[in-house]
Amino acid sequence: MTRMSPQGVDLDSETKFSLSLGGGVKMLITDHFGLRLEGRWLGTFFDGSGQAFCTSGQCLIKIEGDVFSQFVANAGVVIAF
């Protein structure tokens, strides 16, 4: 869940469903030195609707809505002792 609290006149705070997906890789150049790269997508859903239909042990789930996307990328140095 994401809590959004805008600062301004006539703006209300809202709590929305959100999702985060990410991954990374660590590349060792030597036994004691390397690089680390990471990336992450964060999505907050607005004006959404959903439906679920289940029969004979199988379910169909349908979700629609607008998504506010944010992206984060990190890079760093790895030093091992």
Please tell me the predicted confidence (pLDDT) of residue 69: 93
CA distances from 35 to 14, 21, 41 (A): 39, 21, 21
- Residue 58 included in any domain: yes
Distance CA 49, CA 29 (A): 48
Give a yes or no: residue 51 inside a domain.
yes
- Pick 72 or 8 by higher pLDDT: 72
Residue 26 tokens, joined: 């660590």
pLDDT in tens, 21-63: 999 999 999 999 999 999 999 998 887 778 889 998 899 888 8
Residue 2 burial by Cβ neighbours in a 10 Å radius (0-12, 13-18, 19+): middle
Domain span at residue 65 reads 16-79
Domain assignment of residue 42, yes or no: yes
Instruction: Please tell me the total count of domains within the chain.
Output: 1
Whether residue 46 lies inside any domain: the answer is yes
**Residue 34 domain flag:** yes
